[in-house]
Each structure stands twice: as structure tokens, then as C-alpha cells.
Structure 1
Amino acid sequence: MKRLSLSILFLFSMGVSFAQVSCELKIRVENIKKLQGSMKIAIYDHEDHFLKREILSKGKPIEDHNVEFIFNGLGKGIYAISVYHDENDNGELDANFMGIPSEPYAFSNNAKGMFGPPSFEDCQFEIVDGFQEIVISL
């Protein structure tokens, strides 16, 4: 009986600690030029998956020059964000014949790349707990 009580107490304390590291992440994308199409956002949790396999993604119609996204339940860790303005709403980041994006895009930390996208390291930010807000400018 004593062992069962300790096990239940241990599991309860684990559940409480998991609840404490859950974070609400608010992402505000600013400087949207055209009020058409939609904004697409993706969150990545590892450099090996960056721009290949997101852990979370959303899309939202453009109605203003700023768009906000809220993600709940993210745990403690290192993340990076990519966003793009899908002006023609075709579900893709359009590019010209040389592969250079022809629609506006941006990354967390407002990171810029040289001859390609920035690295995960340049875009990364840490979530600790509670509420966190990130502002990205297109």
C-alpha cells in the first residue's frame, strides 16, 4: 500500500511539473503590404527538420497589415519559425525561375540568409514557460 501511494504521488508530481512548462506562444507578423491571400506559419523544433518538417503550422486570411497566431501547449525548448505571405492563396511559396521566392517571407529573430534561407541557429529562440510573444516583420 505504501508503494502504491508513493507511485501515485510520483505520477501526480510529474503531471504538475509538465503543466508548469506549457507555454502560450503569440506570434505577431507585421508589415504586411497587400491585403490579399493568407499568411502561412510553421514552427520547427530541431535544426535537422528546419524548413523540411514542422511540428506545428497554421494559415490565416489577411485582413489587416498585422496578423497574430497563438499556439498553446508548447513545451520548454528551442524553436524556430518561418512565415510567408501566400498572396495568391495557392498553398505554396512561389518562386521565380531561379528559385528565389517571389512572395514575402520572414523568420523568427527577423533573421536573413545570404544566398538562401538563414540557419536554424540564426532563427532559434527558447521557450521557458508561461506566455511568450514573438514579433516578425515581413
Structure 2
Amino acid sequence: MKLKSLCIFVSNKKINVVSTLVKILVILVFTITVAHAQKENTQDIIVNISGLDNDKGRLLVGLYNSEANFLDQRFMSVIGEISNKTGKVVFTDVPEGIYAVSFIHDENNNGKMDTNFLGIPKEDYGCSNNARGTMGPPKWKDAKFELKGESKIITITL
């Protein structure tokens, strides 16, 4: 009996077992190779936040990947816990590129930044590079950083 001619019959259909196994093996190897190649060009972004007013609530941290989306549409988001007026979050498997980080200290856990009647934030907030806005939100050019080659630690101090 030749290995190439090993066949089975399923519901009156002839199936070549070796050919089918080879096809499955090729697909499996291709899938693993592609998944591994994609993972190689990703890094982690570790965000350390200090100087918060208190330990109430949680941190809502956003990662942005373009100026057009900055502070409007997050590329990734993480919710972080607060302890001793500090917090730490990690964005994992982030592709290399240009990014900015922003956070709000959601003291009352309502999922948004609370402002007064003039639109001035009542809760702590901040951005990467400690970027601050003048009469408005921080600018992309001040908050952006490059993620390339190794994980990045971002420290935001209020």
C-alpha cells in the first residue's frame, strides 16, 4: 500500500487523507507564521500617573493614533485603578507608530469628564509629555510620541 493512495470513503465520497493532512498543515504553518510576524512589531505602552487629588473613582485612559482622532476617537482604551493618588495602566501589543495618551480621573464613575458651567474640567486630566492646553485642550503636537523598537513608559505628573 502506497502512502499517497491512502484514501477513505465518507458518505460515498473518496477523500485522500494525505492530501488533506498536507493542506491542513500548510494552512496551520501559514497562520502561525503570520500571527508571529504581526506580534514581533508590537510593544507595550506603560502609563504612570501621579499627583491625583484623591483615590476616588478610576482612571479612563485613551491611546490615540492620529491628530485627526486626538481626544475624540480612541485607538485603544484602558480603565485603571487608583491607589495613593497614583495609577498605572498598560496598553499591550500596540503596533509601532506615533501615538498620544490622555486620561481623566473619573472621580464619580460616570464615564465622562465633568465640567463646570464654563466648560472647565472639575476632574483631573492629563496627556502624554505632560502636554497642557492654553485656553483649551492640549494639542496633538505637544502630546505625541513615537513607539518603536521597545516598550515605552509614559509618566504623567499633575
State the TM-score, normalizing by the size of structure 2.
Answer: 0.75
Tell me what 1:78 maps to.
Answer: 98
Which of 59, 84, 88 aligns to 1:64? It is 84
Question: What's the offset of the Cα at 1:59?
Answer: 1.4
| Aligned structure 1 segments of 4 or more residues deviating by more than 4 angstroms | 14-17
**Cα distance between partner residues in 1 of 2:46 and 2:134:** 28
> What is the SS of the residue equivalent to 1:122?
helix
* CA deviation vs aligned residue, 1:29-81 (integer Å, no higher than 9, x gap): 11112111111100000000111100111212323221110111101100001
Query: Does residue 42 of the first structure (1) align with residue 62 of the second (2)?
Result: yes
Aligned residues: 130
State the TM-score, normalizing by the size of structure 1.
Answer: 0.85
The CA RMSD measured in Å over matched residues stands at 2.0
Query: Does residue 104 of the first structure (1) align with residue 120 of the second (2)?
Result: no
> What is the SS of the residue equivalent to 1:48?
coil
Greater relative contact order (CA < 8 Å, ≥ 6 in sequence): 1
Q: Gaps (5+ residues) in structure 2?
A: 1-28
With 38-47 and 53-62 compared, the bigger mean Cα shift is at 53-62
Q: Gaps (5+ residues) in structure 1?
A: 1-7
For the 8 Å contact 2:81–2:88, the answer to whether it is kept is: no
